[in-house]
Chains A and B, each alone.
Chain A
Amino acid sequence: MIDSAILEAFFEECEDLLVALSDGLADMRDGNADSETVNAVFRSVHSIKGAAGAFNLDELVGFAHTFETVLDELRANRLSTDDTLLRVLQRAGDILADLVDAARDQVPADRAQVDPALSELQSFLGTSVAEEEEFVFEALTLSIDGPERLGSYLIQFQPGRAFYATGNDPALLISALQDLGPVQVHAETSGLTDDLTSLQWDEGYLTWKVELADQKNDLAIRDVFQFVDDLCDLQVTEIFDNAPAAQIDVTAVLPETPPEIGTLLGQTEEPATIKADKPEKNQKRTASTLRVDPERVDRLINAVGELIINQSVISQRIAEAQLPNSSELHGDLDDYKLLAREIQEGVMAIRAQPVKPLFQRMLRIAREAAEATGKYVDLVTEGEATEVDKIVVERLADPLTHMIRNAIDHGIETSAIRAESGKPSTGTLRLTASQRSGSIVIEIIDDGAGLNRARIKETAVTKGLVAADALLSEQEIDHLLFAPGFSTAKEVTNLSGRGVGMDVVKTAITALGGRVAISSVKGKGTTFSITLPLTLAVMDGMIIHVGGQTMVVPIASILETIRPAKADLSQIGLHNHLLRIRGEYVPIIDLAERLGVSPCSDALTDRVLLLIQTEVAGQCALAVDDILDQRQVVVKSMQGSYGEIAGISGATILGDGKIALIIDPDAISAPPTSDLKSHLQTQRDFAHAAT
């Protein structure tokens, strides 16, 4: 009997090797390969074969041996890398992964899959000798581009009176910028006059200039200023000292005082040559890692969760003790909070994993789906290094698989139709991951036909999901895709439409605390974007009061908080209150009323409005009684104890030991009809359970 721990280590090793293999094959396909790439691919297969031999995994050894032989021929320049060979190699890579899985699960491999791939590989071995003479090695092009162009930005902002009046602090903004990359900060004091008596106490006189390096674009910077955009005079300009010369559009980036063209060239040429000396390939090195039992990490995470609760308990006790402001305890408490947050982030980072392996699985799914439908599809992945919680990576596999299949099956057209509409015959599907202000955004973008809204509505009407005369906005129609029991495929294809619909995708993502949004342009394509929280266990929440209850609203969905003036409020009929904000009207939702807790009798002007962004309803304002605090909360699921409650995503424990419910902004802002329906459903379940 083989020691299971050693076998386990072998399979873990295999996973890494398969990733390297898949990477290498992808490079070869994209023409980014050199002889070292082929060597690396060969070594991966060879290592798997060697180790598998030690464990008597004969099927695996047999296949890996043939695979390896073909690669060896390629390495010795006796085979040329044409499209057919590459396809066969990729297929072989997939089969090798299958065989590893089969060996791990101790099930027999699917010979129907393995044998054709094996004979395909062998066919190359048979002919290689004959072709040997004619073979000319074609040098593979080496990519010399850096991974991504990084530039510096000059951020100049002058906070005005309104900025300070709303409690903002330039130091916080600067420290947020610091999190993005190395900064140089300069305060412009020329706005200050020598005559101190003429200074207004609440006016802003300083202008801050921050130079921020190593940025891909200015999106992250704009994000930092998202909430204060209209409160200060903000300018973000790109400084162009390390942008590649070839791509500069001189007119677009010229600053107010144009530098000499000579200096410009002198500045730009240098980094370009450095880049040529350091090809990307050389930097690919296996990072040294630590394998840890996930259970130990989970234990640590639980302990950190308790630490954060304990921290809020202590904060509350100190607040109750009403110490003088001068007490040093306040400073110590702040340090404690900071440390607790740092520990929490550190622990979460242990669980964080790049989405790369997940995306690589999708490459295969896309290949298979394209083959099955006879369409030509390129899956392009971006942001593979983006890190997400391990659980999220695991649980995303099924929804993503489904969405990729859907996009290829329903989204991308056949090449004939594509040619008619003047598109390239190969469709492009982009799978991207990126981190945006506290969330992870994963997008699946196809350049297909776009959603057929008329047909979606028609189907929904036929299935009785909406009334035939219902007036639906485009957004609402798009969201019908996620309705349970909806599937637009006219006949069941063997790809998508296996009885699982997009509602399953939505449920899986909602269970991770995420959201799915759709945007689609007819003839141009469809984008599904999945927004997920960075961590599952802890989130930043706004602690509020509603009808005598303390509750939490996730900060991530709050755009701003407003104390409305009478002039900002208007009404349609008796109950439909609206808030005017920057010329737009957004509906006001009375949170107490929506939750069925005792409503607040105060006028709206005495209450606080939280402007939130939601998926279906767009922006809306939640009326709450008061805002108490803003802090990290540990999320406890309600699923295990009571079950799901409409509008509530979970609960947390506050400093005083009381439970506060966490509001789900999307569910709470959905029209009350669906709310009522699920309410009745719950009641019926209970009545049913009692019988």
Chain B
Amino acid sequence: MQQLDDQKAASQIEFVTLVAGGQSFCIEITQIREIRRWSPVTLLPHTPSFVLGVINLRGAVIPIFDLAAKLGFSPIEPTERHVMIITAVEDRIVGLLVESVSEILGVSADMVRETPRGSEDPTTLAVRGVIPVEDDMIKIISLDALIPQSVSAAA
């Protein structure tokens, strides 16, 4: 971390790191609207299991996805300690339930490594790069790959 802070180049990117399914991931900070504590959602019928439901975010109806389940891990049992990361990609706002949010990580663009394509599992497909940090590897989540632009457009 120390050596990363020294590089205050223009190519500095900031990520919010989080834990889902027991592994470390991160999302670019510019794609995050806010982080909220878990609150009960309104269930949606006939939806895939990773769709938890919708919440009211200051008058807007926002869907909440279980990130762990979406990535192929076992679903999170939401409690008050869990948090939702409200993300925005273009016009689409989606909340992601995660196990925990750790810190803000600033890295230079050349620190990002390409995702090693070992297999085609759902996690690998949703990761657009990895960042080696000390004894861990943090996977960058591609929201575009994770969340389809719109269900009806895809249909």
Q: What distance in Å separates the Cβ of B64 from its nearest Cβ neighbour in chain A?
A: 10
Q: What distance in Å separates the Cβ of A362 from its nearest Cβ neighbour in chain B?
A: 29
Q: Enumerate A503-535 residues with CB–CB distance to B below 8 Å.
A: none
A638 touches B61 (CB 8 A): yes
A575 interface residue, CB < 8 Å from B?
A: no
B62 contacts across to A, CB distance below 8 A = 641
B51 interface residue, CB < 8 Å from A?
A: yes
Docked complex Cα distance between A607 and B86 (Å) = 38
Per-position binary interface string of chain A over residues 643-682, scored 1 when its CB falls under 8 Å from any chain B CB and 0 otherwise: 1111110010100011111000000000000010011011
Nearest CB in chain B to that of A656: its residue: B56
B45 touches A597 (CB 8 A): yes
B22 interface residue, CB < 8 Å from A?
A: no
Q: Enumerate A600-656 residues with CB–CB distance to B below 8 Å.
A: 636, 638-648, 651, 653
Docked complex Cα distance between A657 and B91 (Å) = 23
Stretch touching chain B among A279-287, A381-389, A683-691: A683-691
Most-contacted residue by chain A among B44, B145, B146 (CB, 10 A): B44
A690 touches B125 (CB 8 A): yes
Nearest CB in chain A to that of B93: its residue: A641
Docked complex Cα distance between A550 and B40 (Å) = 13
B152 touches A639 (CB 8 A): yes
Nearest CB in chain B to that of A668: its residue: B45
A561 interface residue, CB < 8 Å from B?
A: no
A646 contacts across to B, CB distance below 8 A = 45-46
A675 touches B56 (CB 8 A): no
A645 touches B46 (CB 8 A): yes
A686 touches B61 (CB 8 A): no
B42 touches A660 (CB 8 A): yes
The contact size tier of chain A is: 35 or more
A309 touches B59 (CB 8 A): yes
A658 touches B42 (CB 8 A): yes
Nearest CB in chain A to that of B154: its residue: A685
Q: Enumerate B56-83 residues with CB–CB distance to A below 8 Å.
A: 56, 59-63, 70
* A-B contact number at CB 8 A: 100
Per-position binary interface string of chain B over residues 30-42, scored 1 when its CB falls under 8 Å from any chain A CB and 0 otherwise: 0000000000101
B155 interface residue, CB < 8 Å from A?
A: yes
A643 touches B42 (CB 8 A): no
B63 touches A653 (CB 8 A): no
Q: What distance in Å separates the Cβ of B1 from its nearest Cβ neighbour in chain A?
A: 32
Q: What distance in Å separates the Cβ of A442 from its nearest Cβ neighbour in chain B?
A: 26
A595 interface residue, CB < 8 Å from B?
A: yes
A690 touches B155 (CB 8 A): no
Docked complex Cα distance between A657 and B51 (Å) = 20
Q: What distance in Å separates the Cβ of B81 from its nearest Cβ neighbour in chain A?
A: 21
Q: Assuming the A-B contacts A638-B61, A659-B55, are A644 and B46 also in contact, with contact meaning beta carbons closer than 8 angstroms in the complex?
A: no
B48 interface residue, CB < 8 Å from A?
A: yes
B148 touches A689 (CB 8 A): yes
Q: What distance in Å separates the Cβ of B48 from its nearest Cβ neighbour in chain A?
A: 5
A642 contacts across to B, CB distance below 8 A = 44, 47, 51, 54, 61, 63, 151
A682 touches B45 (CB 8 A): no
B89 interface residue, CB < 8 Å from A?
A: no
B43 contacts across to A, CB distance below 8 A = 549, 597
A678 contacts across to B, CB distance below 8 A = 46
Q: What distance in Å separates the Cβ of A14 from its nearest Cβ neighbour in chain B?
A: 36
A645 touches B56 (CB 8 A): no
B150 interface residue, CB < 8 Å from A?
A: yes
23 contacts across the A-B interface (CB closer than 8 A)? A549-B42, A595-B46, A597-B43, A636-B61, A638-B54, A638-B61, A641-B63, A641-B94, A642-B47, A643-B150, A643-B151, A644-B152, A645-B47, A646-B45, A651-B61, A653-B56, A661-B42, A682-B46, A686-B48, A689-B147, A690-B125, A690-B145, A691-B125
Identify 18 new A-B residue pairs, CB closer than 8 A, beyond the known A597-B43, A648-B45: A309-B59, A549-B42, A638-B61, A641-B54, A641-B60, A641-B61, A643-B151, A644-B151, A653-B56, A657-B56, A658-B56, A659-B42, A659-B54, A682-B47, A686-B151, A688-B148, A689-B148, A690-B70
Q: Ordered nearest first, which 10 A-B pairs have the shortest CB separation? A: A643-B151, A689-B148, A595-B45, A659-B42, A642-B63, A679-B46, A685-B154, A643-B152, A651-B61, A596-B45
